[in-house]
Amino acid sequence: MNRCPITYIECGDADYSPAGLRLLNSRLAGLSPLSLSAAEQRREALRLAGKLSIAGMQPKLSAVLNVAGATFEPVERRGLYILKPQHADYPGLPENEGITMQMARVAGLEVPVSGMVYSADGSLTYFIRRFDRVGRTRKLATEDFAQIAGLDRDSKYSFSMEKVVELVERHCTFPVIEKARLFRRTVFCWLTGNEDMHTKNFSLITRCGKVELSPLYDCLNTTVVYLAIGRPLAEIDEIALPLNGRKRKLLPRDLLDYFGKERLGLPGKVIAEAMGVFSGVMAEWLRLLEVSFLDDRLKEIYTEVLVRRKNTLGL
């Protein structure tokens, strides 16, 4: 019995479930493998970009969905999707990002259409629909926090979560709503081991006349990646931007009391509701990890990280 790499539900002998195909396009009856292998995708990304992108630790390709041809096609410009193939050095990144984004979706966080597609060599490539595009010609105004703060790729970590809050307060149309979303997103990333949410992985988008946080993107368990290649846990940060002056050994008082109540100014009821959601989806997260496309070793490491942090928060 196959499992759909988009929805994670069983799909019989097919590669994708009807529900997964409908997420891409209601007229899509199937999806053919990409015409390129993982190695060929990496070479194509290098050719188009001039250098490998290190954002999210993965080379990236722009693509469109050819519904008539039932396949993704790499393009040089105006792509509506981003493809991330297997990395040459870090195992299982597409599978890692795919399951992490699915977990975010289950928890009610705003995420674009995303999942995985098979490549010519049978490997899985992660895909995500661009949230800043309406068709291939219209672009929604979007700026990441590095751009807003005047930082570049070399200084994207030279910030703090307190300064992230200041940008939300200063630029969002309804900052109270966005601060609650920022809190849920921050706790989610901490729970799922994502210590690479730097300033380029937060963005503001203008939609329907409102400036608000963009959907979640570039979200995967980087702690698992480092542990899998032998880096000691004690040397791995828990968060990319310091919170309450700390990047490691965060405690409930840092995330809930200081960040949630003091810095974001959220009522206790809002914080409790968010914690209730995470507690309520934990069993489903663990089930999804078990049926995910990660190999058994990475599943075990991911589960250990999640359970350890769940227990730290008392969920």
Fold of 138-313: 1.10.1070
Residue 140: partners with Cβ closer than 8 Å, 6 or more residues away: 131, 132, 133, 134, 205, 206, 207
Percent of the chain surpassing pLDDT 70: 97
Active-site residue identified among 15, 132, 144, 196: 196
Average pLDDT over residues 26-32: 95
Least Cα distance to 125 among 188, 23, 32 occurs for 32
Mean pLDDT of all residues belonging to the chain: 94
DSSP state of 215: P
48, 76 contact by CB (below 8 A): yes
Quick: pLDDT tens for 174-217: 999 999 999 999 999 999 999 999 999 999 999 999 999 999 99
Q: Is the pLDDT of residue 50 over 60?
A: no
pLDDT score at 86: 96
What is the secondary structure of 129-169 as a DSSP string?
Answer: E-TTEETTTEE--EEEHHHHHT--TTTTTS--HHHHHHHHH
Least Cα distance to 98 among 7, 198, 186, 28 occurs for 7
H or E element, residue 61: strand 61-66
HSE, side-chain direction, 13 A CA sphere, residue 68: 0
Q: Is the pLDDT of residue 77 over 90?
A: no
Q: Is 55 exposed, middle or buried (0-12, 13-18, 19+ CB in 10 A)?
A: middle
Active site residue 144: no
pLDDT band at 4 (very low <50, low <70, confident <90, very high): very high
Quick: pLDDT tens for 236-292: 999 999 999 999 999 999 999 999 999 999 999 999 999 999 999 999 999 999 999
pLDDT score at 257: 97
pLDDT score at 58: 73
pLDDT score at 100: 98
pLDDT band at 134 (very low <50, low <70, confident <90, very high): confident
pLDDT band at 48 (very low <50, low <70, confident <90, very high): confident
pLDDT score at 57: 55
Q: Is 200 exposed, middle or buried (0-12, 13-18, 19+ CB in 10 A)?
A: buried
Indicate the residue type of 57: M
H or E element, residue 45: helix 38-49
Percent of the chain surpassing pLDDT 90: 90
pLDDT score at 53: 40
Residues of CATH 1.10.1070.20 domain(s) within the chain? 138-313
Mapped onto helix, strand or coil, the DSSP state of residue 286 is helix
pLDDT band at 122 (very low <50, low <70, confident <90, very high): very high
Q: What are phi and psi of 18, to 5 degrees?
A: -55, -40
